[in-house]
């Protein structure tokens, strides 16, 4: 109080602006700062330059790729008036005029943002419809930005349709959604749609490196690559993780380290994963379980270990196909994958993928995750010791194992190499059984099995085969048989059908022969005497062998 005048409280000291998280601080302010969306920017630029502006735009894509940011940039591009106040719509808004600054700060009266998640009803849409009749107050266009538009109710969508199809000339609608499949087709057909892409991991890593440079933070290249992969194509998610990694690094000046990022994200160490994968391929169960337990004791989620193994199998398969190396991968990782790709066949890799994927799903839903992970690894170890299916088929075709014993009672066919070398046309198999054996030994195992189990022969006179029409075979089987026989015999085969019963199938003949042998053995004097001494005795076949009695 001075001379009876109340001067009020003294002014407060100016306060510094609070910390802004990186995801907000480095939000794109121009179209050139949008990462990985060049096709959309080019289309928008051409539309603005030619004056072919749609009245409604729909931006869709996964979280964090820039949908809402793109909507705000479009609002700036359409309402920018340039530094001199005389400019028109442009793909490069100046960012200095009043409309640009007001839109960037979220305070422009003619750019209305609405979150459809909290304004889902028809009444909210009616307010938009009523307000859209009035011209913009200070901007060129009145723009409505509706985020997560798929959250609107069915009635709200229906209320919006007529206005969306024929809006006033001064109104533009900008919609953003992560679930475009939930947006009615009637709405989609009235919008110009832009599908924003996932941002590649290498582009994200470069972006995070620039952010670290601007923030005065050092970061290992591998650490940024880990963050980029964890972001799964989302710039916002990646910047949030980077923010956390910088805070995790503290003030000791060490910067963002890859090992710290792994621990923060609960990722398995890549070197440990490579070692574990090698143990699985070597069939070393105890070592694999010990490696898994070590990572578990360090706090790594068992699901993360299985996920890392999935990434490894996928990476090795891509390396075997010959795709370009991922520049974000360490040199040791690329070398190891190249080595495995050279040593492992595609069938083995596909089998590994199925086994690890099944284990991942089991562990993700298991009541005992670490125990489920151990069982999954043991299953992989066991499968790694099994022969490759193609090798097994070749061995069987060459006469090894139970197939040879099964064929011991039948006259041998002319030997055919597993490489399926054609035989001379004058040396065609003289019997149907020999023809089936030729297919079997030539590598056509499935086709030979179909003939052995289902073909009833009416007449066989190579290269002519007449089968019973009372039990016809599929047309594709007949075509496959003609092609296979031509490749093996150099002869053009003719396969027809007659409507007569035909002979029993080869399997039925074998079963009948086995039954006759069993009956003869059952009625032999020695067995009859044994049956009289042991009335409850049964005749069984020795495991793994066929009865030759």
Which strands, in side-by-side order, build the sheet including 494-498? 457-461, 464-468, 494-498
* Half-sphere CA count of 374, side-chain side, radius 13 A: 12
Q: Is the per-residue pLDDT at 399 higher than 80? A: no
**DSSP string covering 184-236, please?**
-HHHHTTSEEEEPPPPPHHHHHHHHHHHHHHHT--B-HHHHHHHHHHHTT-HH
Structure tokens at 90: 């442009």
For residue 469, what are the contacts with CB-CB under 8 A and spacing of at least 6? 497, 498, 499, 500
For CA atoms 351, 353, 358, 360, give the dihedral sign.
Answer: positive
Query: By the 8 A CB rule, do 65 and 233 touch?
Result: yes
CA of 276: how far to CAs of 125, 292, 377, 388, in Å? 57, 8, 10, 21
The CA-based dihedral angle spanning residues 43, 82, 67, 153, taken in that order and rounded to the nearest 10 degrees: -100
**pLDDT value of position 402:** 44
Lowest mean pLDDT among 243-257, 319-333, 525-539: 525-539
CA 487, CA 481: separation in Å to the nearest integer?
10
**Secondary element (H or E) of residue 415:** none
Q: Is the per-residue pLDDT at 486 higher than 90? A: no
What is the chain's mean pLDDT, rounded? 81
CA of 514: how far to CAs of 212, 433, 523, 528, 544, in Å? 78, 17, 14, 19, 15
CA 399, CA 415: separation in Å to the nearest integer?
10
**pLDDT value of position 8:** 52
Which strands, in side-by-side order, build the sheet including 142-147? 111-115, 142-147, 171-177, 56-60, 192-195
Interval 17-74: pLDDT, tens: 567 888 888 888 888 888 888 888 888 888 888 888 888 999 998 888 888 888 989 9
The pTM assigned to this predicted structure is 0.57
Structure tokens at 343: 């040593």
Confidence label for 122 from pLDDT (cuts 50, 70 and 90)? confident
Strands 142-147 and 464-468: unpaired
Structure tokens at 542: 């020795």
CA of 410: how far to CAs of 88, 437, 449, 508, 516, in Å? 91, 11, 16, 14, 15
> Can the peptide bond before residue 463 be classed as cis, meaning omega within 30 degrees of 0?
yes
Structure tokens at 254: 């060490």
Interval 304-354: pLDDT, tens: 899 999 999 999 999 988 887 776 666 778 888 888 988 888 888 888 999
Query: By the 8 A CB rule, do 502 and 458 touch?
Result: yes
The domains of the chain, with CATH numbers, are 22-195 (3.40.50.300), 201-265 (1.10.8.60), 270-384 (1.20.272.10), 395-503 (no CATH)
**pLDDT value of position 116:** 87
**pLDDT value of position 490:** 85
Interval 451-483: pLDDT, tens: 888 888 889 988 898 888 766 676 677 878 888
Nearest 5°: the CA angle 272, 278, 284 is 105
Helix (H, G, I), strand (E, B) or coil at 79: helix
Nearest 5°: the CA angle 254, 239, 274 is 65
CA 256, CA 274: separation in Å to the nearest integer?
23
Q: What is the DSSP letter of 115?
A: E
Percentage of the chain lying above the pLDDT 70 cut: 82
């Amino acid at each position: 109080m001075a001379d009876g005048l109340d001067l009020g409280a003294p002014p407060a000291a100016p306060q510094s602006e609070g910390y802004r998280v990186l995801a907000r601080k480095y939000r794109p302010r121009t179209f050139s700062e949008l990462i990985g969306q060049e096709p959309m920017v080019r289309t928008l630029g051409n539309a603005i330059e030619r004056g072919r502006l749609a009245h409604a735009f729909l931006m869709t894509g996964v979280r964090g790729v820039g949908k809402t940011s793109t909507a705000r940039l479009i609002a700036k591009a359409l309402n920018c008036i340039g530094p001199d106040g005389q400019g028109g719509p442009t793909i490069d808004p100046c960012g200095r005029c009043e409309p640009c600054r007001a839109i960037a700060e979220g305070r422009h009266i003619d750019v209305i943002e609405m979150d459809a998640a909290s304004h889902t009803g028809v009444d909210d849409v009616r307010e938009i419809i009523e307000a859209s009749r009035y011209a913009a107050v200070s901007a060129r266009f009145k723009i409505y930005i509706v985020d997560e538009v798929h959250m609107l109710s069915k009635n709200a969508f229906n209320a919006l349709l007529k206005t969306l199809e024929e809006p006033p000339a001064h109104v533009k609608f900008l919609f953003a959604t992560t679930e475009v499949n939930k947006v009615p087709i009637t709405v989609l057909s009235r919008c110009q749609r832009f599908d924003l892409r996932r941002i590649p991991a290498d582009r994200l890593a470069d972006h995070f490196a620039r952010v670290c440079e601007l923030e005065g933070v050092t970061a290992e290249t591998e650490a940024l690559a880990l963050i980029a992969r964890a972001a799964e194509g989302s710039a916002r998610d990646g910047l949030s993780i980077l923010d956390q990694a910088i805070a995790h690094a503290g003030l000791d000046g060490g910067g963002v380290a890859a090992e710290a990022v792994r621990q923060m994200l609960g990722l398995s160490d890549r070197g440990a994963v490579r070692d574990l994968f090698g143990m699985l391929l070597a069939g070393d169960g105890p070592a694999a379980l010990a490696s898994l337990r070590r990572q578990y004791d360090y706090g790594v989620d068992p699901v993360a270990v299985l996920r890392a193994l999935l990434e490894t199998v996928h990476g090795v398969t891509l390396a075997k196909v010959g795709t370009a190396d991922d520049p974000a991968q360490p040199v040791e990782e690329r070398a190891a994958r190249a080595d495995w790709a050279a040593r492992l066949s595609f069938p083995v890799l596909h089998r590994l993928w199925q086994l690890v994927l099944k284990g991942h799903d089991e562990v993700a839903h298991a009541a005992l995750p670490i125990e489920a992970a151990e069982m999954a690894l043991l299953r992989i170890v066991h499968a790694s010791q099994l022969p490759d299916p193609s090798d097994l088929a070749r061995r069987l075709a060459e006469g090894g194992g139970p197939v040879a014993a099964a064929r011991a009672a039948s006259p041998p066919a002319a030997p055919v190499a597993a490489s399926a070398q054609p035989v001379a046309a004058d040396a065609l198999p003289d019997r149907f059984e020999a023809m089936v054996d030729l297919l079997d030994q030539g590598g056509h195992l499935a086709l030979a099995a179909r003939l052995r189990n289902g073909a009833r022969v009416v007449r066989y006179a190579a290269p002519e085969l007449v089968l019973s029409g009372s039990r016809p075979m599929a047309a594709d089987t007949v075509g496959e048989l003609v092609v296979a026989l031509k490749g093996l015999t150099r002869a053009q085969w003719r396969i027809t059908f007659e409507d007569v019963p035909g002979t029993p199938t080869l399997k039925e003949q074998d079963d009948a022969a086995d039954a006759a042998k069993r009956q003869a053995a059952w009625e032999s004097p020695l067995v009859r005497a044994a049956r009289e001494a042991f009335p409850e005795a049964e005749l069984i076949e020795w495991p793994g062998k066929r009865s030759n009695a």
